Chain A
């Protein structure tokens, strides 16, 4: 059981380049989400998905696209990278429903530098 995996761990891009950050989970979780972490600002939600084929925007969606064709995978696409997208990106998954302390399972993060 690998949990939530993210690739790559580190990436350097030039302004205007595109790339896809990969995220996969093997826990059969319905929910998956992407956050970015900037210094002094905590984590902010970019996009999230409540199931295959269903995605929605979070707090800071501009410049990012997502799709979810399978339960396991939730890639994040940067169509034209900008220096403002330099950040650490976390993917997370969780299961639906329940009243208890269901927690998010976070991936190890992808550190992105846009020059």
Chain B
């Protein structure tokens, strides 16, 4: 069965430093997509970054990058130059299949990131 594991319930990082949030996944599919979402205290889900299983390059979106290690089934989120506004809950999620099929995502338990000034 497909599964997403985030082993860090909470993390602290100093402002302006980089931080890595861990995510491992389990699937028997060869085609899948991996997502990271940010959920601030206000509660909305904000899409950050996407990595397809066939993408050879690691995805990057501004200060966010995804360290994709397919053989190890890991998809860690790297946030460079942390800002106070990055304090939030972060979720890793997976979609099985190459194409969006019904909008079904499997989510990890989340990591709460706190950025210290």
Residues in chain A within 8 A of chain B (CB atoms): 31-33, 35, 40-45, 48-50, 56, 58-59, 88, 90, 92-104, 106, 108-109
Tally A-B pairs: CB < 8 A: 74
Contact A109 B107 (CB under 8 A): no
Bound CA span A100–B45, Å: 19
Name A58's closest neighbour in chain B (CB-CB). Answer: B104
Q: List 15 A-B contacts (CB under 8 A).
A: A42-B91, A42-B108, A42-B110, A50-B101, A50-B102, A56-B102, A93-B103, A95-B100, A96-B99, A96-B100, A101-B59, A103-B35, A103-B50, A104-B103, A108-B44
Residues of A within 8 A of B6 (CB): 42
Q: Is the interface of B mostly helix, strand, loop or mixed?
A: loop
Residues of A within 8 A of B35 (CB): 101, 103
Of B43, B45, B102, which one neighbours A31 at CB under 8 angstroms?
Answer: B102
Chain B 34-76, CB-CB to A under 8 Å as 1, else 0, gives 0100000001110100101000000100000000000000000
